[in-house]
């Protein structure tokens, strides 16, 4: 399927646009964002290394994106209790990708295309087509957290 990459700087820009009530450069409704900044694409490959970044850095910018219909996030590490509650409220899902496996994950990418904020280089937003991309559910749509925190 198709997912979008976005890291810190792209999140800051999206959150600022949402706060202003401006039109976003992509439709987040029903989409999945992968917290990833892909490296330069080597010749003959679809993408360079594309491992996950630490998700907690996006926590304070997650609510506006969920409000716009974002349904999934992919990253590494635990999320804040507030994000867990927001995931449950918006019936979203947080997936975990294996940290340190960027070269392996790149073999699951079929294509990559820049979408917006191209001047940010690897922190731009890219549309990525993936197949058999290995993930586990970190927080499900009911708020169940693999890290064992309160499930109420």
Is 11 a residue of the active site? yes
125: nearest Cα among 107, 134, 112: 112
Q: What pLDDT is attached to residue 148?
A: 79
Q: Whole-number mean pLDDT of the chain?
A: 95
Please say whether the beta carbons of 84 and 63 come within 8 A.
Answer: no
HSE of 19 in the Cβ direction (CA atoms, 13 Å)? Answer: 9
Cα first-last separation, the chain: 32
Number of C-beta neighbours around residue 143 at 10 A: 18
Give the containing element (helix H, strand E) for 118: none
Q: Which residues of the chain have pLDDT under 50?
A: 151-152
Out of 11, 13, 84, 90, the active site residue is 11
**What is the model's pLDDT at position 13?**
97
Q: Render pLDDT for 110-151 as a digit per residue (tens, 0 to 9).
A: 999 999 999 999 999 999 999 999 999 999 999 999 987 654
Spell out the SS3 assignment of 47-81.
Answer: CCCCCECEHHHHHHHHHHHHHCCCCEEEEECCCCH
In angstroms, the CA 120 to CA 21 distance is 22
């Amino acid at each position: 399927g198709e997912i979008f990459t976005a890291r810190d700087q792209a999140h800051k820009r999206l959150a600022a646009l949402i706060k202003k009530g401006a039109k976003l450069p992509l439709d987040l409704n029903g989409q999945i964002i992968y917290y990833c900044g892909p490296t330069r694409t080597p010749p003959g490959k679809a993408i360079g290394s594309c491992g996950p970044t630490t998700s907690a850095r996006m926590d304070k910018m997650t609510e506006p994106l969920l409000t716009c219909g974002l349904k999934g996030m992919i990253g590494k590490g635990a999320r804040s209790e507030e994000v867990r509650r927001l995931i449950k409220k918006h019936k979203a899902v947080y997936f975990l990708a294996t940290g340190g496996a960027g070269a392996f994950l790149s073999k699951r990418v079929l294509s990559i295309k820049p979408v917006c904020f191209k001047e940010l280089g690897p922190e731009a937003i890219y549309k990525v087509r993936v197949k058999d991309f290995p993930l586990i559910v970190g927080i499900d749509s009911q708020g169940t957290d693999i890290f064992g925190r309160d499930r109420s």
